[in-house]
Amino acid sequence: MPLGEKAGFEKSQSRYCGVEAEFNDDMPQLLNFNLSTGSFDFVVAPLMNPSYRPSLLEKDGVLPFAASDLVLSPSQWSSHVVGKLSSWIDLDSEDEALRMDSETTLKQEIAWANHLSVQACILPPPKGASCANYARCVNQILQGSNNMQLWLRIPLVKTDDDDMDANSTSFIDSWELWNSFRLLCEHHSQLSIALDILSSLPSLNSLGRWFGETVAAAIINTDSFLTNGRGYPCLSKRHQKLITGFFNHSIQIVISGKPAHSIPRPSSDLAANNFDNNSESPQRHPLRPYLDYVGFLFQRMDPLPEQERFELGYRDFLQSPLQPLMDNLEAQTYETFERDSMKYIQYQRAISKALLDRVPDDKASATTVLMVVGAGRGPLVRASLQAAEETGRKLKIYAVEKNPNAVVTLHSLVKLEGWEDIVTIISCDMRFWDAPEKADIVVSELLGSFGDNELSPECLDGAQRFLKQDGISIPSSYTSFIQPLTAAKLYNDVKSHKDLAHFETAYVVKLHNIARLTPSQPVFTFTHPDYSTKKSNQRYKRLQFEIPSDTGSATVHGFAGYFDAELYKDVHLGIEPSMATPNMFSWFAIFFPLRTPVCIKPGSPLEVHFWRCCGSSKVWYEWCVASPNSSSIHNSNGRSYWVGL
Looking at per-residue pLDDT, the higher value among 165 and 591 belongs to 591
Residue 128 pLDDT greater than 90, yes or no: no
Instruction: Give burial (CB, 10 Å; 0-12/13-18/19+) of 171.
Output: middle
Quick: pLDDT tens for 95-119: 999 999 999 999 999 999 999 999 9
User: How far is residue 403's CA from residue 415's CA, in Å, rounded to a whole number?
Assistant: 19
Q: Which residues are annotated as a binding site for S-adenosyl-L-methionine?
A: 334, 343-344, 401, 429-430
Residue 227 pLDDT greater than 50, yes or no: yes
Residue 283 pLDDT greater than 80, yes or no: no
Predicted local confidence at residue 170, as pLDDT: 55
Question: Which of the residues 213, 454, 504, 576 is marked catalytic?
Answer: 454
Provide the pLDDT confidence category of residue 286 given band limits of 50, 70 and 90.
Answer: very high
- Identify whether 445 is a catalytic site residue: yes
Quick: pLDDT tens for 622-639: 999 999 999 999 999 999
Q: What share of the chain in percent tops pLDDT 70?
A: 94
Q: Which residues contact 428 (CB under 8 A, 6 or more apart)?
A: 400, 401, 402
Question: Which of the residues 103, 213, 445, 622 is marked catalytic?
Answer: 445
Predicted local confidence at residue 264, as pLDDT: 66
Q: Which residues contact 299 (CB under 8 A, 6 or more apart)?
A: 3, 4, 6, 275
Phi and psi at residue 589, to the nearest 5°? -70, 165
Provide the pLDDT confidence category of residue 2 given band limits of 50, 70 and 90.
Answer: confident
Is pTM beyond 0.85? Reply is yes
Quick: pLDDT tens for 504-527: 999 999 999 999 999 999 999 999
Residue 208 pLDDT greater than 90, yes or no: yes
Predicted local confidence at residue 171, as pLDDT: 52
Please, which residues bridge with residue 84 across strands?
46, 122
Q: Which residues contact 190 (CB under 8 A, 6 or more apart)?
A: 142, 145, 147, 148, 149, 150
Mean pLDDT across the chain, nearest whole number? 91
Rg (CA), the chain: 30
Q: Is the dihedral of CA 173, 179, 184, 185 positive or negative?
A: positive
| CA distance to 75, 111, 172, 314, 597, per residue, from 207 (Å) | 35, 34, 14, 25, 20
Provide the pLDDT confidence category of residue 333 given band limits of 50, 70 and 90.
Answer: confident
Residue 151 pLDDT greater than 60, yes or no: yes
Residue 270 pLDDT greater than 50, yes or no: no
Phi and psi at residue 380, to the nearest 5°? -75, -30
Residue 252 pLDDT greater than 50, yes or no: yes
Instruction: State how far Cα 206 lies from the chain centre.
Output: 17
Residue 266 pLDDT greater than 80, yes or no: no
Predicted local confidence at residue 265, as pLDDT: 59
Predicted local confidence at residue 533, as pLDDT: 76
